[in-house]
Chains A and B, each alone.
Chain A
Amino acid sequence: MATVKFEAQEIELTEGESVLECLERSGHPIPNSCRSGVCHSCLMRATAGELPPAAQKGLKDSHRAQGYFLSCCCYPDTDLSAVRVDADSMRIGARVLRKESLNERVLRVVLEANEPLDYFPGQFVNFARADGLVRSFSLASVPALDDGLEFHVALVPGGKMSGWLHHEAVPGDDLELMGPLGNCFYVPGNPEQPLFLLGTGTGLAPLYAIARDALHQGHTGAIHLFHGALVAADRYLVEALSALAQDHANFGYHPCVRDEAGADWVQGEVDAHALELVPNLKGWKVYLCGNPTLVRNVQRKAFLAGASMQDIYADAFLPAGG
């Protein structure tokens, strides 16, 4: 019989036993509820081995790509190494490589990790400073195109991590990274599917990564990136995104500024403009990042505009508590 490797133990599966049952039998309680593949509370991640398709039924393709599976429906034929999802975060050392201002409020921070970080562009990592302060930031870089790990850090009034990064951190300073986490990234395999990317503020960071990753991987379908700002000065990476649009006929960059009129952008709410331009999202893959209220609203609007639930990736930037 196949074995399950879990927390330094190797447990042999008995006839007809699921991974969940096997771990419970050996004294490892795994959160679970419906035990029929519906509620997803027994989600785990495989780090080695082959997953039977039934163990990943109903999961998003980005989760599948990362080896997530439902332990209650997992009856492996061969050996499998599995980890808990909540404990599944590695911590690696990193140091500040450079800092660069993108606009008055947003800083580009490039880090160098002590060991290669295996990530999908658009995922996020947690920064942990030596004193225990932890904050999440999205990866704006693409491993195949960039050497460092790029993040866009908005200066938050009273924000401890953003204040430190903006005002005090200097190249060479140490940080620890946890992750990567999140499922907001480009999944190859469907190069013709049109992509709808919408974000506000530094929600642009993951979208910038996803757009560049998709283009780099030869995506041929339309890619529309909508970036919402309150005032014109809140926009950033305008030149880089305009250049990307120049170089790729299938990429469109649509900056929207709510409170100012101008020739280089559309004035108004970013979601209203985006859904006016693309009123029917049937068959589209949708990525939404940034302000949580906006993300939630547009998630529903995109669904009602025809996008399938499986094709909507929402990354709400929740404010840190305390």
Chain B
Amino acid sequence: MSGLYDAIGGEPAVNAAVDIFYRHVLSDDRIAHFFDGVDMERQAQKQKAFLTMAFGGPHNYTGLDMRKGHAHLVKQGLNDSHFDAVVEHLSITLTELNVDQKHIDQVMAIAESTREDVLGRSTEPDAETANV
């Protein structure tokens, strides 16, 4: 896992990606409204933690965190189309940062692995223990 993180460029790469990624997300009318009224600085910290995880870096995210953190958004109608939009921006961000397609694919796979938890649809009832 850390092989991917180092290959992408570690923390400096995450820092470079946060601004670009978040700017794409907030400029997208399909998903920008989910960020209305949020504290941008705290949100940027969360984006950074998310990107660190997606880049294969050190993190403590669990499936349960993912579900808890997005439950209020699922109530507001968060669905697959929104998840797709965010993943799309992640891919565009990495392309802009000249990351190899091979590594982008690996990041996409990690991001994709969070889909069911983010959208609050656990396929297995005890999935939350899978990360422990």
Tell me whether A303 and B23 are in contact (CB under 8 A).
yes
CB of B15 closer than 8 Å to a CB of A: yes
CB of A48 closer than 8 Å to a CB of B: no
**What is the total of A-B residue contacts with beta carbons within 8 Å?**
47
Tell me whether B27 and A300 are in contact (CB under 8 A).
no
Residues on the A chain within 8 Å of B59, using CB = 34, 36, 38
Question: A38: which of B22, B26, B48 is its contact (CB, 8 Å)?
Answer: B48
Residues on the A chain within 8 Å of B79, using CB = none
Tell me whether B60 and A36 are in contact (CB under 8 A).
yes
- With A and B bound together, what is the CA distance between A45 and B40 in angstroms? 23
- With A and B bound together, what is the CA distance between A17 and B127 in angstroms? 34
- With A and B bound together, what is the CA distance between A300 and B35 in angstroms? 10
Residues on the A chain within 8 Å of B11, using CB = 57-58
Residue-by-residue, is A28-64 near B (CB-CB < 8 Å gives 1, otherwise 0)? 0000011110111000000000000000011000000
- With A and B bound together, what is the CA distance between A308 and B26 in angstroms? 14
Q: How many residues of B contact A (CB 8 A)?
A: 21
Residues on the A chain within 8 Å of B19, using CB = 308-309
Q: How far is the CB of B65 from chain A (nearest CB, A)?
A: 10
CB of B44 closer than 8 Å to a CB of A: yes
Tell me whether B15 and A58 are in contact (CB under 8 A).
yes
CB of B45 closer than 8 Å to a CB of A: yes
CB-contacts of A298-322 with B (<8 A): 299-300, 303-304, 308-309, 312, 314
Could you show 20 A-B contacts with beta carbons less than 8 Å apart?
A34-B49, A34-B59, A38-B48, A38-B49, A38-B52, A38-B59, A39-B45, A40-B45, A57-B11, A58-B11, A58-B15, A296-B40, A300-B26, A300-B35, A303-B23, A309-B22, A309-B40, A309-B44, A312-B40, A314-B41
**Chain A residues at the B interface, C-beta cutoff of 8 Å:** 33-36, 38-40, 57-58, 296, 299-300, 303-304, 308-309, 312, 314
**Chain B residues at the A interface, C-beta cutoff of 8 Å:** 11, 15, 18-19, 22-23, 26-27, 35, 37, 39-41, 44-45, 48-49, 52, 58-60
Q: Give 6 closest A-B pairs by Cβ, nearest first.
A: A36-B58, A38-B49, A309-B44, A34-B60, A299-B40, A308-B19
